[in-house]
Amino acid sequence: MSAASPILSSAPGCTDAPVLRQRGQREVFCGLTGIVWLHRKIQDAFFLVVGSRTCAHLLQSAAGVMIFAEPRFATAILDERDLAGLADANDELDRVVARLLERRPDIRMLFLVGSCPSEVIKLDLSRAAQRLDRAGNGDVRVLYYSGSGIETTFTEGEDACLAALVPEMPAATDSKPSLLIVGSLAEVVEDQMLRLFSAMGIDDVRFLPPRRARDLPPVGRGTRMLLAQPFLANTARALEARGATHLPAVFPLGAEGTTLWLRAAADAFGVSPARFHDATSAAEDRARRSLAPLRETLAGKTLFLFPDSQMEISLARFLAREVGMIPIEVGTPYLHRSHLGPELALLPRDSRLSEGQDVELQLDRCRDAQPDLVLCGLGLANPLEAEGFTTKWSIETVFTPIQGYNQAADLAELFARPLRRRARLMV
């Protein structure tokens, strides 16, 4: 990123904006939900939640009935005997894991995933993972992370999972610069990014998470990490501890967003402006052209974002700058200023930022604001529609490939379609 970039000018946008913080009911998923996309992303990994029937029910309700293939996740449901100490938790876990691996011999990496109950009763799943790992004779790597709702919100589950992978990454053998893209992206997006980096002459590009658990990229002093998702605070910290350098950038949403994101890497790898322009301008122009018709639907429309995935600030920046929407309130479960600094600088100054939630008070603000479009979770969408609001489910921004130039219009379309639909219906 060049020094002339508007992002680094003094306190632009929402950099110094006050943040509304309220404490009440939070209407969000827990970190276990990340399993729903992580198990598809890392194709030889299995996620075993050690928790309650509620955890199993959450996973199946958040995704279960939508997925028709056999999932690579399951829950070891704790019962009374486990809680009363009548059953040895380790023996029970061994039994469950043995049954699982017998059924799925293709599994190469098993995550034991902690839950609210396992954390509250202080079940030491970290040690259990080490023990099972040794017992597995290297056939199956067993790792632990917590996706509990008392510690993690929705996408933080991915952060915890990726952070657990960091110690497993091999050490880089030299300090030659290499680029590490961190955060789950759809494969189609990864491939597009690889082509763009290749056109700039950056060829050593790896992804975390990898498609196969055993293909973990190396990390070391030469590693330059570019975050693809805004919710990876712990993963980034763990990678920094292993020598990686964080490249601050906005996230690759939209034409402008993708260019700024790519440029952060280009600058770090000394790519000349001319070469960067040659590599990206055609794709950026195409993305801008594809956004033009969507701008007609979205420009001037007001937007209210309930906190959910931590992507809200990036989404609001994209929707405001590239299709002309007006964010009234931008809610996020957590605000990581260090990773979101470049985003905040680009966010319209009069957007209200809120962190955390009292859902009742926030609904009141939403009703007062009468936005044209509301981004919210599945629990709120239909009730708000019934009140006359137009909504978009936030979970779709997590499950849909939206990053990169070629997906910019798809992302805008997610927001345009509910508005067009409402305009079309005559009943």
Partner 1 sequence: MQLAVWTYEGPPHVGAMRIADAMRGLHYVLHAPQGDTYADLLFTMIQRNERRPPVTYTTFQARDLGSDTADLFRRAVLDSHARFKPEAMLVGASCTAELIQDDPGGLAKSLGLPIPVVAVELPAYQKKENWGAAETFYQLVRAFARRDVAKRTEGRPLCNILGPCSLGFRHRDDIIEVQNLLASIGVDVNVVAPLGASPTDLSRLGAAQFNVVLYPEIAGTAAAWLQRNFAQPATRVVPIGVGATRDFIAEVAQLAGLPVPHTTESRLPWYSRSVDSTYLTGKRVFIFGDATHAIAAARVASEELGFQVVGLGTYSREFARDVREAAAKYGVEPLITDDYLDVEAAIAAAQPELVLGTQMERHVAKRLGVPCAVISAPVHVQDFPARRSPQMGMEGANVLFDTWVHPLMMGLEEHLIGMFREDFEFHDGAAPSHLGHAATAAARPEVVVPLSVAEEAPAELWTAEAERELKKIPFFVRGKARRNTERFAQERGLRSINVEALYDAKAHYSR
Residues that bind partner 1 (CB under 8 A): 24-33, 50, 52-54, 56-58, 60-62, 64-65, 68-71, 74-80, 82-83, 87, 89, 92-93, 95-96, 99-100, 103, 116-117, 119-121, 148-151, 153, 360, 377-383, 386
- Determine the Cα–Cα distance for residues 102 and 128; give it in Å rounded to an integer: 19
Three-state SS annotation for 73-104:
EEEEECCHHHHCCCCCHHHHHHHHHHHHHHHC
* Smallest separation (angstroms) from partner 1 to the CB of 267: 39
Minimum CB distance to partner 1 smaller for 301 or for 392: 392
CB of 140 closer than 8 Å to CB of 167: no
36 vs 319, beta carbon nearer partner 1: 36
- Listed in sequence order, the residues at least 6 apart from 209 whose beta carbon sits closer than 8 Å to its beta carbon are 38, 41, 42, 161, 162, 165, 184
User: To the nearest whole angstrom, how small is the minimum distance from the Cβ of residue 132 to partner 1?
Assistant: 14
Residue 355 DSSP SS3: strand
User: Which CB, 121 or 135, lies closer to partner 1?
Assistant: 121
**Phi, psi at 209, each rounded to 5°:** -75, 150
Find how far residue 360's CA is from the centre of its chain. Answer: 26
Which residue number, 51 or 404, has a Cβ lying nearer to partner 1? 51
- Residue 46 buriedness (CB in 10 A; 0-12 / 13-18 / 19+): buried
List of residues 6+ apart from 320 with CB closer than 8 A: 326, 327, 347, 348, 351
Nearer to partner 1, 29 or 318 (CB): 29
The number of CA neighbours under 13 Å toward the Cβ of 292 is 6
> Could you give the residue ranges of the DSSP H alpha helices within 166-311?
187-200, 233-241, 254-268, 273-298
Give the nearest distance from C-beta 127 to partner 1 in angstroms: 17
Question: For residue 62, what is the enclosing H or E element?
Answer: helix 53-62
Which residue, 29 or 197, has its beta carbon nearer to partner 1?
29
Least distance from partner 1 to the Cβ atom of residue 357, Å? 9
**CB-nearer residue toward partner 1: 25 or 281:** 25
DSSP one-letter string for 144-183: EEE--TTT-BTTHHHHHHHHHHGGGSPBPSS---EEEEES
CA distance 105 to 219: 29
Q: Are 358 and 24 in contact (CB under 8 A)?
A: yes
Nearer to partner 1, 19 or 378 (CB): 378
Cβ closer to partner 1: 56 or 196?
A: 56
